[in-house]
């Protein structure tokens, strides 16, 4: 495996993202919606850096089976426990790859009438898009490589690595 983003670079970026988001929401409460499992570490660090009041909830979506290839299908395997209606909602994603997962979740949540709905993704692989989707906040734009670490896995392994690595 090859290190492409160090722990320190991730920390700096998460702090920067939290600063941008906090400024945009200007003291208003934000409901962070983490997409399990990949976003769990990013979400925990982002939440701690936020300067506005936050609440947290999680969804679990499955779009990948095992391995490194997308099935192209999405299902909610665990839904939110809180209502998003009238709230400022921020979807927290680990990575946007084909865009299918993020687009699906965005449309599902929008239909529940939040006050606002935005997306933050730590990583973005625009070269892999199969549907057009743009996150409002992106940490790092990367090449078309399968990456692990900082929450991202390959067959459930490597989520605990502090940096981001390309699997060779
Ligand atoms: P998408 O629907 O193709 O955009 O895929 C989104 C989900 O696939 C992400 O939330 C990840 O869980 C997973 N995924 C996509 N690319 C990678 C990768 O390079 N490493 C690990 N997981 C990935
Ligand atoms: Mg994921």
pLDDT in tens, 59-107: 999 865 544 555 678 989 999 999 999 999 999 999 999 999 999 999 9
Ligand 1 nearest-atom number relative to CA 39: 10
Q: How far is the CA of 104 from the centre of ligand 1 (A)?
A: 14
- Cα–Cα separations (whole angstroms), residue 21 to 55, 67, 98, 126: 14, 33, 24, 21
Closest CA to 34 of 47, 19, 21: 47
Ligand 1 contacts CB of residue 101 (under 6 A): yes
pLDDT digits (tens, 9 = 90+) for 1-23: 999 999 999 999 999 999 999 99
Phi, psi of 80 (to 5 degrees): -65, 155
Q: How far is the CA of 96 from the centre of ligand 1 (A)?
A: 6
pLDDT of residue 66: 47
The reported pTM is 0.95
């Amino acid at each position: 495996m090859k290190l492409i983003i160090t722990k320190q670079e991730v920390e700096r970026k998460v702090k920067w993202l939290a600063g941008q988001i906090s400024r945009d929401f200007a003291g208003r409460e934000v409901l962070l919606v983490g997409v399990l499992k990949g976003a769990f570490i990013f979400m925990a660090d982002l939440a701690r850096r936020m300067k506005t009041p936050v609440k947290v909830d999680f969804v679990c979506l499955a779009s990948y089976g095992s391995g490194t290839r997308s099935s192209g299908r999405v299902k909610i395997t665990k839904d939110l426990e809180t209502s998003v209606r009238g709230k400022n909602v921020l979807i927290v994603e680990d990575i946007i790859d084909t865009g299918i997962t993020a687009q699906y979740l965005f449309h599902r949540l929008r239909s529940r009438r939040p006050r606002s709905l935005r997306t933050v993704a730590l990583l973005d692989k625009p070269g892999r898009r199969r549907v057009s989707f743009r996150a409002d906040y992106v940490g790092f734009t990367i090449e078309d490589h399968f990456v692990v670490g900082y929450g991202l896995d390959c067959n459930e392994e490597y989520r605990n690595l502090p940096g981001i690595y390309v699997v060779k």
